[in-house]
Structure 1
Amino acid sequence: MSIIKEMVKIAYNALDDKQGEDIRIIDISGISVMADYFIIAHGNNPNHVRTLMDFTEEKLNKAGFDTKNIEGNHNGSWVLLDFKDIIVHIFDKENRSFYDLERIWADGKIIEDVKSF
């Protein structure tokens, strides 16, 4: 398994472990140079969004992957964790719907089953 796919699985599992909602993985490697994968999820409230962010960052850091940048507002409505090869977007439900990254990046390939990925 490639290192990038390992990163994706760690991030996905971290989000899943903390009950991230509607977790999506989009392979953007063929359409963008900014990253290979987007991982998108949302939380149920500001505390949940922050928990998802903290736990995902912690799990990836413990696995040896450095956070390159964190953007967004830390009040719990949207945050982006940039790990260079993967970018994790965590929203509250309203902002996820508003930004609709799945539509914007519809040319990317949706990864349906992370277990066989």
Structure 2
Amino acid sequence: MNESKEMVKLAYSAMEDKKGEDIQVIEIGTISVIADYLIISNGTNASQVQAIVDNVEETLSKHGYEPKRIEGIRNSSWVLMDYGDIIVHVFSEEDRLFYDLERIWKDGKVVTKEELGL
């Protein structure tokens, strides 16, 4: 399995462990050079958003993946975690609706949990 897909699976599971809502994986490697995949989720409050972010970072780190950068940390309603091949977005419910990344990246391929083998 390729490395970026392995990272997606780890991040997806970490989001699920912290009850991340409406986890979406969008494959964008064929339409953009910024990454192979986007993973988008939201929490119900700032504490849950932070718990999801912390768990993703910890899980990926345990497997040797370190973020190139993390933006929006601490008390934020949108945290972006850039791992190079994958970009993780964790939002508050309100900001997720406002920014609507799924619409912006509608030309990407939505990847189901089943297609990831989870």
Per-residue Cα deviation, 1:89-114 (whole angstroms, up to 9, x for no partner): 00000000000000000000000234
- Partners of 1:15 and 1:4 lie apart in 2 by 16
Counterpart mapping for 1:48-87 below 5 A: 48-87=48-87
Deviation at 1:76, TM superposition (A): 3.1
Find the residue that maps to 2:72 and give its secondary structure: strand
Deviation at 1:73, TM superposition (A): 4.9
Contiguous gaps of at least 5 residues in structure 1 = none
Find the residue that maps to 1:38 and give its secondary structure: strand
User: Counterpart of 1:6?
Assistant: 6
Q: Is the 8 A contact 1:38 1:89 kept in 2?
A: yes
- Partners of 1:89 and 1:105 lie apart in 2 by 13
Q: TM-score, normalized by length of structure 1?
A: 0.95
Count residues with an aligned counterpart: 117
Q: Is the 8 A contact 1:18 1:52 kept in 2?
A: yes
Per-residue Cα deviation, 1:55-79 (whole angstroms, up to 9, x for no partner): 1001001100011000125213010
Find the residue that maps to 1:19 and give its secondary structure: coil
Which amino acid is the alignment partner of residue 67 of structure 2? Answer: T
Per-residue Cα deviation, 1:9-34 (whole angstroms, up to 9, x for no partner): 00000000110000000000011100
Which amino acid is the alignment partner of residue 106 of structure 1? Answer: K
Question: What is the root-mean-square deviation of aligned Cα atoms in Å?
Answer: 1.2
- Partners of 1:110 and 1:42 lie apart in 2 by 17
Identity among equivalent positions (%) equals: 54
Counterpart mapping for 1:1-117 below 5 A: 1-114=1-114, 115-116=116-117
Find the residue that maps to 2:87 and give its secondary structure: strand
Find the residue that maps to 2:59 and give its secondary structure: helix
Q: Is the 8 A contact 1:45 1:76 kept in 2?
A: no
- Partners of 2:33 and 2:70 lie apart in 1 by 18
